[in-house]
Amino acid sequence: MAYPIPEAENSAEAAFSKSYSSMGTFQKHRGRLLLERVEVADGATVLDLGCGTGAMIRDLQKAVGASGRVIGIDPDAWRLQLARAGIDQEAAAVRFIEAVATDLRGVADETVDLVFSNYVLHWVLDIPAMLAELFRVLRPGGQFVCKCVGDPIPETVEMFSLVPGGAKVASERTFLTDAQWRHHFTNSGLSLEWIDRVAALVDFPDLNTAFSWLASSSNGGFDPAKLDTADRQWLEAKYAAQVTFSINEVEFLLTKPAGINQRP
Ligand SMILES: C[S@@+](CC[C@H](N)C(=O)[O-])C[C@H]1O[C@@H](n2cnc3c(N)ncnc32)[C@H](O)[C@@H]1O
């Protein structure tokens, strides 16, 4: 199934987060599917790891009920600003922290029931350090549910390869095999409940919208202005009829075993 992306304005540097938010329909849909795969208790504390512009914050507020708590974490201050503006003031309390997944020092030990993360972990380069932080903040019995891009997206790899420095930017991602994920999980002290691969297609109304998404999601790492004329024309011909990216997602659920407060 393919999901359309709403038309986006052309993003300039400071407007990346705004542009990014306007193109979040696909990711929000994927996030909702992920949230359906876990049980969230009334009154729970949920941490949205890499919350971005807050696409899933209202869904998480609803899931934890009025007495629950939501913590949104993201290193991008622009995105957090939009996330702050979008919360439901009448629902569960929300706190935002500007931080990376590998350093959650604003979150106390064993205070989180569920870490939820949608479309983020492919950006996190040090997975063992992140899992150590999640082990620390999760209560015994707490869970970590994640969906992220599981493999390089062939269409975007090709586009990145056509701009100077793009290949390097495209390679600075975490794409692991299931065996590598399992290896990290075993070393983290968290127990794997399930790991799945899911294929998804995302459609763009035209090439400029796809470029805009790539530029904003890479914070300018992909700059379509740097394409040379011949390459741009080649891409325009290739994607004249349809612009679709094929995504192979990886998703998994981990539990911190009850009664364990020390990593192995
Ligand atoms: C594709 S967006 C997903 C946003 C949101 N989870 C959603 O479903 O719409 C990825 C987010 O991960 C954040 N991010 C990138 N590197 C990160 C890191 N090392 N730790 C935490 N978040 C990170 C980015 O700032 C961005 O907001």
| 3-state secondary structure labels for all residues of the chain | CEEECCCCCCCCHHHHHHHHHHCCHHHHHHHHHHHCCCCCCCCCEEEEECCCCCCCHHHHHHHHCCCCEEEEEECCHHHHHHHHHCCCCCCCEEEEEECCCCCCCCCCCCCEEEEEEECCHHHCCCHHHHHHHHHHHEEEEEEEEEEEECCCCHHHHHHHHCCCCHHHHHHCCCCCCHHHHHHHHHHHCCEEEEEEEEEEEEEECCHHHHHHHHHHHCCCCCCHHHCCHHHHHHHHHHCCCCEEEEEEEEEEEEECCCCCCCCC
**Angstrom distance (rounded) from CA 261 to CA 29:** 34
- Residue 20's pLDDT is 47
- Residue 217's pLDDT is 84
**Angstrom distance (rounded) from CA 213 to CA 215:** 5
- CA-nearest residue for atom 23, ligand 1, is 50
- Residue 23's pLDDT is 55
2-255 architecture in CATH? 3-Layer(aba) Sandwich (3.40)
Give the nearest ligand 1 atom to 76 CA: 25
Residue 259 zone, left/alpha/beta (φ > 0; ψ -120 to 50; rest): left
Residue listed under structure tokens 């082990």: 135
Contact 169, 218 (CB under 8 A): yes
Say if ligand 1 is within 6 A of residue 119 CB. Answer: yes
Say if ligand 1 is within 6 A of residue 205 CB. Answer: no
Ligand 1 mutation pick, 35, 73, 74, max ligand atoms within 8 A of CB: 74
- Residue 134's pLDDT is 98
Say if ligand 1 is within 6 A of residue 114 CB. Answer: no
Say if ligand 1 is within 6 A of residue 153 CB. Answer: no
- Residue 1's pLDDT is 42
- Residue 49's pLDDT is 98
Question: What's the pTM value of the predicted model, to 2 decimals?
Answer: 0.90
- Residue 260's pLDDT is 64
Contact 145, 33 (CB under 8 A): no
What residue ranges do the domains of the chain occupy?
2-255
| Cα-based angle 225, 12, 228 (whole degrees, multiple of 5) | 5
- What is the distance in A from the centroid of ligand 1 to the CA of 255? 22
- CA-nearest residue for atom 14, ligand 1, is 50
Say if ligand 1 is within 6 A of residue 54 CB. Answer: no
- Residue 10's pLDDT is 36
Per residue of the chain (264 residues), give pLDDT as tens. Answer: 444 443 333 333 334 444 444 357 899 999 999 999 999 999 999 999 999 999 999 999 999 999 999 999 999 999 999 999 999 999 999 999 999 999 999 999 999 999 999 999 999 999 999 999 999 999 999 999 999 999 999 999 999 999 999 999 999 999 999 999 999 999 999 999 999 999 999 999 999 999 999 998 888 899 999 999 999 999 999 999 889 999 999 999 999 999 766 677
Give the nearest ligand 1 atom to 101 CA: 20
| Residues in contact with 231: Cβ distance below 8 Å, sequence separation at least 6, in sequence order | 162
